Structure 1
Amino acid sequence: MNYKKRQPLLEFTPEGIYCPEGDFYVDPLRPVKKALITHAHADHARWGMKQYIAHHYTKSILHSRLPDPVEVQGVEYNTPLTINGVKVSFHPAGHVIGSAQIRLEHRGYVAVVSGDYKLEDDGISAPFEPVRCHEFVTESTFGLPIYRWETQQAQSKELSDWVELNQAQGKTSVFVGYSLGKAQRLMKMLEGKGPLYVHRSIGKLNEAFTEAGVGLPTYIEQDFFADVKHLKGGVVLVPPALMDSNVIKKIPDAAIGLCSGWMRVRGSRRWRSADRGFAISDHADWQGLLKAVKLTEAEHVHVTHGQTEVFARYLREQGISASAVPVPGYSEKRDDDEQTENF
Structure 2
Amino acid sequence: MTKNGILCETEGKRVSLDPKKTDSMGVNFVSHAHSDHLPSKNGGTILASIETSEIANLRGFKMENHVQNIVDFSLIDSGHILGAKSLLFDDIFYTGDICTRDRGFLKGGIIPKCKTLITECTFGLPEFVFPKLDVIQKQVNELISELYGKGIPVILLGYQLGKAQTITQLFGHWGPLYFHDSVKQMNALHQKLGISLNDGIGHTEAEKNGLLKNKPWVMIAPLMSEKNQFLKDMKSKYGAVTIGFSGWAQSPRFAFGRRSDYSIIMSDHCDFNELVDLVIRSEAEQVYTIHGFVEEFAAHLRTLGISAQPLRENSLDDFT
TM over 0.5, shorter chain: yes
Question: In structure 1, which of residues 34, 39, 47 is the aligned counterpart of residue 40 of structure 2?
Answer: 47
The 5-angstrom pairing of residues 306-321 of structure 1 reads 306-321=292-307
1:16 aligns to 2:5 (yes or no):
yes
Question: In structure 2, which of residues 199, 202, 210 is the aligned counterpart of residue 221 of structure 1?
Answer: 202
* Partner in structure 2 of residue 174 of structure 1: 155
* Partner in structure 2 of residue 27 of structure 1: 18
* Partner in structure 2 of residue 6 of structure 1: none
* Partner in structure 2 of residue 335 of structure 1: none
The 5-angstrom pairing of residues 235-274 of structure 1 reads 235-241=218-224, 243-251=226-234, 252-270=238-256, 273-274=259-260
The 5-angstrom pairing of residues 80-119 of structure 1 reads 81-82=70-71, 87-105=72-90, 110-119=91-100
CA distance in 1, matches of 2:286, 2:173: 46
Question: In structure 1, which of residues 304, 310, 313 is the aligned counterpart of residue 290 of structure 2?
Answer: 304
Greater RCO between the two (CA within 8 Å, min separation 6)? Answer: 2
Q: 1:16 to 1:268 in 2, by over 3 A?
A: closer
Q: Over aligned residues, Cα RMSD in angstroms?
A: 2.0
CA distance in 2, matches of 1:74, 1:235: 39
Q: Give ranges in structure 1 of 5+ residues lacking alignment.
A: 1-11, 329-343
CA distance in 2, matches of 1:297, 1:231: 56
* Partner in structure 2 of residue 73 of structure 1: 66
The residue identity in structure 1 corresponding to 2:76 is H
Q: 1:179 to 1:303 in 2, by over 3 A?
A: same
CA distance in 2, matches of 1:169, 1:292: 44
Q: Give ranges in structure 2 of 5+ residues lacking alignment.
A: 315-320
The residue identity in structure 1 corresponding to 2:87 is I
How far the C-alpha of 1:234 sits from its partner, in A, is 1.0
1:278 aligns to 2:264 (yes or no):
yes
The residue identity in structure 1 corresponding to 2:37 is H
**Structure 1 residues 64-92: Cα deviation after superposition (integer angstroms, max 9, x where no partner):** 1134x4315353xxxx622xxxx101111
Question: In structure 2, which of residues 271, 275, 282 is the aligned counterpart of residue 289 of structure 1?
Answer: 275
* Partner in structure 2 of residue 59 of structure 1: 53
| Superposition TM-score, scaled by structure 2 size | 0.89
CA distance in 2, matches of 1:231, 1:150: 34
The residue identity in structure 2 corresponding to 1:146 is E
CA distance in 1, matches of 2:172, 2:195: 16
**Structure 1 residues 17-65: Cα deviation after superposition (integer angstroms, max 9, x where no partner):** 1232322311012342242111111111122132422111112101111
Identity %: 27
* Partner in structure 1 of residue 180 of structure 2: 199
